[in-house]
Amino acid sequence: MRQFFKFMFASMLGTLLIGMVLLVLFIGSIAALGSAFSMEGKPTTVPSGSVLHITLDQQIVDRGPKDAFNFDFGPFRSTSKLGLNDILDDIEKAKHDDRIKGIFLDLGVVPAGMATLKEIRNKLAEFKAESGKPVVAFADVYTQRTYYLASVADKVYLVPQGDLDFRGLQSEMMFMAGLFDKLGVQIQFIRGSDNKFKSYGETFTRKDMSPANKLQMTALLEGVWHNYIHDVAPERKLVPEALDTMAAQLRVRKAADAVAAGLVDSLLYRDQVLADLKTSVGLDADQEINFVELPKYTKAVVSRTGPDGTSTNRWSLPKVAVVYAQGEIQDGDGEDGNIGGATLSEAIRQARVDSSVKAIVLRVNSPGGSGLASDVIWREVTLAKAVKPVVVSMGDVAASGGYYISCAANKIYAEPNTITGSIGVFGIIPNMQGFFNDKLGLTFDGVKTHKYADMMTVTRPLTDEEKGIIQGFIDRFYATFTERVAQGRNMPVANVDSIGQGRVWTGTDALRIGLVDELGGLEAATAEAAKLANLGKGEFRTVGFPEQKDFLQQVRESLNAQARGWVAKEAFGDDVQLLGRFEEVRKVRAMSGIQARMPFDVEVY
């Protein structure tokens, strides 16, 4: 017995000591985080003769985090993001900063959509034209997406054994009907009666693309490609037709081909590129280049003057509110990366009642989601428009519910490659009876007080009558959707229906058919909102809504996101398509009510 207590107390003491050590390590890590966090809040010192180093290797979102942070605690690491708003502001700042002598685009994979890249590209072109400072691009491998950005540079370099992908665009979709057949699951997909282009449910109910989906997807890709080659061609002193032929014949098969085709200026290794960069920015060969990283430059201070040449106190200027709506639309408060109907509505309301806010820009980057939440947000946009100008700036995608919340604005801006429209609605109800009965051996029985009490169950198929009832819900919501658009765009409902039916459009086509007013990015939309409020350039400041989350909230959400990623990766490994399908199934499970959601995601590589 004495020996037992001896070992028990030794074990308890060991456990206590280990716990104390872990606690000390945890507190030390938090303290280190806090120290680094406070250090990051200090202004960045920029030496004279510096070069702004832009890598864009992190996810680019419309609005950067409130306080950038990085942590590494065992298996947990921060997932940093870059804000498009910060990138544009930094390039604008560098344009006026005498300490910055040029920009070095050090590119790899750029996780951003084509409309986002278009805004950055336009800003770089403006930087070159107005400052006279050089922009140099370099990469080991250029994807079509990264080359689109790089093509605006004064010089484009590629390593001698590198690669430039230039073969046009393609779309490949995975269909899961066969899988669900094997599992005994039936996905009951109900869309608006005339919504033949609303193809979201085809992923789960078909084994191939419908003719309507092929039609809209072909038009979409051709539109994106047309804009791509017409942007790249003039910067490279080529004609669009020549670029089209290069892709059609796959003329760029090795690095030397890219030079011969005029897409790249020279094949150089990194040290040779840096030597050339020194010359471009006026440094001697023996001088080191002082690179300033983009996230750090965000915290650099550059003195600016007002329109009359005198310094201005920006805090005293009237405000233009930029309300950020990024992610899928869902009911309630939402979470990081999604739009909560209640949260965004409150942000718009705050901007509306704030007398110091003279105009509102609603930045929309959303494929849609909950129809109910979209309508709640639309109501707040309508109320805001009654008292001050509201201008929408569309990002990579503003479709379905994303268009619903946009249509009431005074004006809508989109980039040529913005994906918009998708005016249509649908509902999805899985019937898992076969899976439960035949695969798992589970059966269900029960009682109900009324005929339709179990209409939304997943343990049996819908009856024809129930399908008709749900079809009625969806058709009524589609009618409301088209009426909202008709009212906001001053169009007959019949015209809206003819360009609706769930079909997606590029920004260029949306301008042609009247769904948007102007082509341009966030800065153009902000300038227009200020103009509508009778504010000139330099006579206002922008403020972001809604209020951003604090440091600890960011840490918690970063860890939660990584935990979800680990689950998916354990199941599917590194298979990108399967990981994407896992995410789609997760979305379907989370859906409730009528959905106003875009039918697919589009990526250009």
**Catalytic option among 50, 400, 422, 558:** 400
Cβ(93)–Cβ(57) below 8 Å: no
Cβ(103)–Cβ(136) below 8 Å: yes
In sequence order, the 6+-apart residues with CB closer than 8 A to the CB of 504 are 197, 216, 220, 399, 419, 420, 421, 422, 598, 599
400 catalytic residue (yes or no): yes
What is the rounded CA–CA span in Å between residue 152 and residue 120? Answer: 10
What is the rounded CA–CA span in Å between residue 288 and residue 281? Answer: 12
What is the rounded CA–CA span in Å between residue 300 and residue 90? Answer: 9
What is the rounded CA–CA span in Å between residue 56 and residue 63? Answer: 14
In the block, residue with structure tokens 């590119």? 107
549 catalytic residue (yes or no): no
**Catalytic option among 95, 101, 155, 198:** 198
In the block, residue with structure tokens 């983009």? 294
* C-alpha distance from residue 457 to each of 181, 276, 446, 448, 558 (Å): 19, 67, 12, 12, 34
| Concatenated DSSP letters of 522-536 | HHHHHHHHHHHTT--
- Closest to 324 measured CA to CA, from 282, 367, 373, 362: 362
Contacts 24+ apart (CB under 8 A), 79-83: 79/558, 79/561, 79/562, 80/295, 82/56, 82/58, 82/294, 82/295
In sequence order, the 6+-apart residues with CB closer than 8 A to the CB of 344 are 323, 325, 334, 377, 380, 405, 546
Catalytically active residues are 198, 400
